[in-house]
């Protein structure tokens, strides 16, 4: 009886490890990011730029992410604005198995580092850097073969500006 119990316990533990191994792993992706700034009721659309991302899923609940986005817009002949953002965060949600795919709605908490540059005809080149803790939400769909698509919305608040990052990326999970 003890041997049967021990064999059953080992089999149950092994089955759980195999199930979790299906979801854990590295991800890389590329996509589009839209950035908007707001200050005292006014807002500026910095435009759609490029986003590259790396992530690692520990299991169906927790993952870590690092991404780099660059956005740029020319507002008129007097102002050219560029923003580069490095974000490091964790996503917390649950990946639901929907057959031959997974869908994971999640929340995000992270740290954003932005470096911006404004070239003006009147004042010349102005640069700045800022750091912010941010929150976000998203949903990632992943096929069993490894392809994924991720849609997310991040809300950092820098010193005097509020920012909205909306991004869509596609990639591959190893």
Give CA–CA dist 136/123, Å, rounded. Answer: 35
**pLDDT, tens only, 96-145:** 999 999 999 999 999 999 998 888 888 888 888 889 999 999 999 999 89
Phi/psi of residue 60, nearest 5 degrees: -75, -5
Residue matched to tokens 């759609």: 48
Strands 79-93 and 162-173: unpaired
User: Mean per-residue pLDDT for 136-164?
Assistant: 92
Rounded to two decimals, what is the model's pTM? 0.80
pLDDT class of 12 with cuts at 50, 70, 90: very low
Q: 20 pLDDT exceeds 60? A: no
Tens of pLDDT, residue by residue over 48-84, are: 999 999 999 999 999 999 999 999 888 777 788 888 9
User: CB neighbours of 149 closer than 8 A, spacing ≥ 6?
Assistant: 140, 141, 168, 169, 170
* Mean pLDDT, the chain, integer: 85
Confidence (pLDDT) at 14: 41
Strands (E), 18-100: 25-39, 42-57, 62-76, 79-93, 96-97
Tell me if residue 133 falls in helix, strand or coil.
Answer: strand
């Amino acid at each position: 009886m003890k041997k049967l119990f021990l064999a059953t316990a080992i089999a149950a533990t092994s089955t759980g490890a195999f199930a979790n191994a299906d979801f854990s792993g590295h991800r890389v992706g590329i996509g589009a990011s839209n950035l908007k700034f707001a200050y005292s009721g006014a807002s500026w659309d910095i435009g759609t730029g490029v986003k590259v991302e790396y992530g690692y899923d520990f299991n169906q609940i927790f993952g870590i992410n690092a991404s780099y986005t660059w956005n740029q817009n020319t507002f008129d002949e007097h102002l050219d604005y560029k923003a580069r953002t490095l974000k490091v965060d964790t996503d917390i949600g649950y990946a639901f198995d929907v057959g031959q795919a997974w869908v994971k709605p999640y929340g995000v908490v992270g740290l954003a580092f932005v470096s911006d540059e404004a070239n003006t005809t009147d004042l010349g080149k102005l640069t700045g850097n800022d750091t912010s803790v941010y929150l976000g939400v998203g949903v990632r769909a992943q096929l069993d073969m490894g392809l994924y698509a991720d849609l997310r919305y991040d809300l950092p608040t820098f010193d005097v500006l509020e920012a909205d990052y909306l991004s869509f990326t596609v990639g591959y999970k190893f």
